[in-house]
Structure 1
Amino acid sequence: MNVTEKPEIVAADFPDHTQLPDSDGTFVKNFQEHPQSILLTTSVRPILDQLHPDGQYCIGQDSGIYWRVPQPPEPPEKGAEAPDWFYVPDVPPTLDGNMRRSYVMWRELMPPLIILEFVSGNGSEERDTTPRKGKFWIYERIIRPAFYGIYEVQKAQIELYHLVENRFELVQSNQRGHYPIAQIGVELGIWQGIYQGVELPWMRWWDAEGNLIPAAEERAEQAELAAEQERQMRIESDLAAEQERQRRIEAEQRIQALEARLRELEGGSSVDS
């Protein structure tokens, strides 16, 4: 090989999700983050299942997105960001029959459609624009999701950015106070209510008509309520049918009694004559 030639670099030269750490040793910052992720995932999954009938999409929850290969002595996880929640369309949910340990950009090449961060501090980390270090800079310039959302539960607000011409632009809410994600036909917003026994301003999905999209537990409760209502309707219908049957029997008995009385009267009249 000519000394001036550079060796060809192929994807196999770089580590994949099985060779990279799936944790940096830190723990979830507060107890709200896990149920918040579950709420987002279980409510939007039926929508995504309709959009991807082939099942080709993945959702990450506090999972790493590797965007560069750190050079020693840096640990490998320094090349990753771990969003609290993200969705990537048109990629398989598993690799070689195994659950993903992380999402590796140089293997997949498909950016997430949306990344969401849940603020635990003052939000400076999520808005850090320091080149090649700050989370906002890395998302905007390297990972490049179509949407990046910053959710602050203490302020009950969402700050959503849309990638336009290589830069994040702040998205304005609609008349409902929601942020439309047209690509999947949903809106993102704040819902004050009780989820998993805790009342908070939760981040939720709505459909394009402004209807709240229920989570898995809520769908189960709705199905149970609908089944109970159907059971009560059947009971009421059966009761009404039984009451109608009894009315018919009683009416028939009255008619038979009247007919018998008439026969008695007719018989008495014949004897008199």
Structure 2
Amino acid sequence: MKFTLDVENNPTGWPDHTQLPESDGTFVKNFQEHPQSILLTDSITPVLQTIHADGNYCIGQDSGIYWRLTDPLERGAEAPDWFYVPNVPPTLDGQSRRSYVMWQEFVAPLILLEFVSGNGAEERNRTPLLRTDKQETKPGKFWVYENAIRPAFYGIYEVRKASVEVYSLIQNRYELVAANDRGHYPIPQLGVELGIWQGSYQNMELPWLRWWDSQGNLLLSGAQRAEEERQRADREQEIAQQQLQRADREQQRADRAEDELEQLRAQLRSAGIEPQL
């Protein structure tokens, strides 16, 4: 695809997110990927809303990140399965983002995640970008993330192995992060941990990639939060009903005691004694 510079509407001459392809035409690899992305986004949204009171953050799910201008344009992009960028608006000029363009905004994702469908070689490919007069090598995904896009954290999740590797960018190189005592990987900037949760989500029993808070409490999905709230409301209603029944029994006991007392007064009066009760 050839790109024609539109200097009048874009003085820099570099295309923006509306001018770049939003898909390379490939299929999502399996049925689990979209639910996995939704689960990650859904469960961390309350945390992000607390951190970003102004709403300035964006999440990409199988969305393109353009890091260089190439021909064809798609060669200059990677499409991580999930990523989060802090302190950028979720929309641009009133439009939803079609892609994330590094030369347009300069802010790197804080965390970027890949979901392995094959053997993981693509996600761990460190082949560097090399140019000659006639051609250039296609850089590996790991190399692009480490040297060009540069998220602070890069995670490689393998559902088949029920595992996740997390790398942290330290002095311009990715270093493998060690799991904590819970088997989770802390993301200090968010106050959360990343790890594997075995359970059922959207009718699939799998080892899902999930978030926990810094105390080790699982961050719930919207459906889980709603169910927890429903159970809490049911418990409160049950407690209120028990208290009402207890109060009713107390009233009945008080009424019986008053009846018995009145009978005793009547017996005393019939015997010519004025009760003092």
TM-score scaled by length of structure 2 = 0.89
Look up the match of 2:26: 26
- Root mean square deviation, CA, Å: 1.3
Contact 1:43 1:205 in 2 (8 A): yes
1:210 correspondence with 2:208: no
Residue 114 of structure 1 corresponds to: 111
Deviation at 1:92?
Answer: 0.5
Q: What whole-Å deviation, never above 9, does each CA across 1:97-142 have from its counterpart, x for those lacking one?
A: 2211111111010000000000000001101111232110110110
Equivalent residues in 2 for 1:1-273, closer than 5 Å: 12-71=12-71, 74=72, 76-132=73-129, 133-266=139-272
Letter in 2 for 1:39: L
Structure 2 letter corresponding to 1:60: G
How far 1:11 moved relative to its partner? Answer: 6.7
Conservation of the 8 A alpha-carbon contact between 1:37 and 1:85: yes
In 1: Cα distance, 2:267 partner to 2:156 partner: 87
Rg larger for: 1
CA apart distance, 1:266: 2.0
The superposition leaves residues 62-109 of structure 1 with CA deviations (integer Å, 9 ceiling, x where unpaired) of 1111111112xx2x2221111000000010011112211111111010
Q: Which runs of 4+ in 1 moved over 2 A?
A: none
Please state whether the residue corresponding to 2:125 is helix, strand or coil.
coil
Question: More displaced, 245-254 or 136-145?
Answer: 245-254
- The offset of 1:163, in angstroms, is 0.6
Per-residue CA deviations over 1:238-269 (Å, capped at 9, x if unaligned) read: 111111111111111111111111111227xx
Alignment check: 8 A CA contact 1:130 1:137 kept = yes
TM-score, with length taken from structure 1: 0.90
Deviation at 1:198, TM superposition (A): 1.6
- In structure 2, what residue type is equivalent to 1:12? T
Residue pair 1:11, 1:106 contacting (<8 A) in 2 also? no
Whichever residue aligns with residue 101 of structure 1, its letter is R
Structure 1 distance, partners of 2:150, 2:63, is: 17
Q: What residue is the counterpart of 2:5 in the other structure? A: none
Rate the CA distance shift 1:11–1:180 in 2: closer, same or farther, 3 A: farther
Cα–Cα, structure 1 residues 63 and 216, in superposed 2: closer, same or farther, change >3 Å?
Answer: same
1: CA distance between counterparts of 2:24 and 2:254? 77
d(CA) in 2 for partners of 1:11, 1:92: 22
The structure in which a higher percent of residues are helix is 1
AA aligned opposite 2:209: M
Identity %: 62
Aligned residues: 255
Structure 1 residue runs of 5 or longer lacking an equivalent are: 1-9, 268-273
